[in-house]
Amino acid sequence: MTLLLWGMVLALLIPIAVACRPSDVWHRLAAFASVATKVALIILVVSAVRGDRMLGLAGVIVLSAGNAGLLLLANLLRGAER
């Protein structure tokens, strides 16, 4: 399980590196969406390892609310670029 968590954190580093790199805003937005999903999954796995229900609830809320904010941001960006 510890090995798995290390692997997940390593996979999380890839989109973070992409998001820090100066590039097109849409590439960065896709990278941020990836970060949001991966962080939520890491929270869920940690909650499973520790047997903590409240942590799992936080993970589920991040999973369902974090992407909604990014979705609104994408719509806003499209409106701003037009």
Smallest gap from residue 22 Cβ to other proteins (A): 14
Size of the site for other proteins (CB under 8 A): 41
50 interacts with other proteins by CB under 8 A: no
22 interacts with other proteins by CB under 8 A: no
The C-alpha atoms of residue 70 and residue 11 are separated, in whole angstroms, by 20
Secondary structure (H, E, C), 35-58: HHHHHHHHHHHHHHHHCCHHHHHH
Site string for other proteins, 28-47 (x = CB under 8 A): -xxx-xx--xx-xx--xx--
The C-alpha atoms of residue 22 and residue 2 are separated, in whole angstroms, by 33
Tell me how far the alpha carbon of residue 59 is from its chain's centroid: 11
Determine contact, residues 25/62, Cβ cutoff 8 Å: no
Site residues (vs other proteins, CB under 8 A): 4, 7-8, 11, 14-15, 17-18, 24, 26-27, 29-31, 33-34, 37-38, 40-41, 44-45, 48, 51, 53, 56-57, 59-60, 63-64, 67-68, 70-71, 74-75, 77-78, 81-82
